[in-house]
Homo-oligomer: A and B are copies of this chain.
Amino acid sequence: MKIIQPDEGEIFDIELDVDILRRNRELADENRRILDEHDIVAVDVMGSVAAGKTSLIVQLTRLLKGKHRIAAFAGDTTTTIDAELIEEAGADVLEINTGKECHLDANLVRKALQSIDLDQFDVLLIENVGNIICPADFPLGSHKRLVVISLTDGPYVVMKHPFVFQDAEVAVINKVDLAQATGISPDKLETQLLEVKPSLKVVRMNSLTGEGAARLASALDL
């Protein structure tokens, strides 16, 4: 087997990235200052298609809405499906449609922060676009980054995508009810996660039933 690893500049996007990433990081720092000024704790939720980002946010909202005033930003390429589900659960939702973009960025989040009354909220849950490659490079200014993987993401999801976990504080292993149907071991995934980042807090969950939501809230200090 031969392996090709492109040199710098050979991937079309790569030379442009340095400036974009620096500018994004500056804006993320600004977002963090704005959030801190208003005593809002923000969590950025990343995960692949159907990992369970929306239902996890729905469960957190149901659990915490008596304790915190919750805002949510729902990032999605084209639809409002997720935003509607989160709104039903009791959060104030702002939908961010990214069109063809594969990730939120700090600029979009800043625009969203300017669109809500920040004094009305204590917690902000941000749902990123559904994949675990692009969002990793774009911090948004949140206090914690959370990655959701699901047993249906298969046995190699952690090994193939280490970067997204290295920047996260909490990882959720979701759909633990499907261990038998998928033949995927939650134990193995947890071991792999902790190899990538030993300080990661790992929570097992079934985001459809809400099992594990209280443990997740605790891991997020919410």
Contacts and interface: CB of A to CB of B under 8 A. Distances in A.
How many copies altogether? 2
Interface residues of A, number: 66
Interface of A: 1-6, 10-14, 16, 20, 23-24, 48-50, 76-81, 83-84, 87, 93-102, 105, 107-108, 111-112, 115-116, 129-134, 136-137, 150, 152-154, 156-157, 159-163, 178, 181-182
A105 B14 CA distance: 12
Contact of A131 (B4, B48, B94): B48
Contacts of A3: 80, 83, 94-97
Interface centre among A4, A132, A160, A161 (most CB of B within 10 A): A4
A14 B100 CA distance: 9
8 contacts: A1-B80, A2-B93, A11-B105, A13-B16, A13-B101, A16-B16, A102-B133, A131-B134
